[in-house]
A = this chain, B = another copy of it.
């Protein structure tokens, strides 16, 4: 069975996360920038002119479609490599996937991964 991981992480952790995934044999992934916030609603900056709420922080979302046999190992690799212990370390979401198809070969399912 195929699953999709969406990992929303700090920009400066992207290379560590990629390296951690390669080490367990996960090569296929894509990423893009998102802006948002979690439960804290962003961060407050206090300056002489007043208090500013910066509530749309940039993060990188990494998407990985993979076999469910590799799912827990991939989650562990991301949790270890993306972690600082401070608020804003990010979130991992997992979704069901019905099908995957490689355009070059028309292979489907696990064979396409």
Chain A residues within 8 Å of B, Cβ to Cβ:
3-4, 8-9, 22, 27-41, 56, 59, 61, 63, 65, 75, 78-79, 82-104, 106, 112
Contact = CB atoms under 8 A, between A and B. Distances in A.
7 A-B pairs closest in CB distance: A30-B36, A89-B103, A94-B99, A30-B34, A89-B104, A92-B101, A94-B98
Indicate how many identical chains form the complex: 3
A37 B39 CA distance: 32
18 contacts: A3-B98, A4-B93, A28-B37, A30-B34, A30-B35, A30-B36, A31-B35, A32-B32, A32-B33, A36-B63, A82-B103, A83-B103, A83-B104, A84-B104, A88-B104, A91-B101, A92-B103, A95-B95
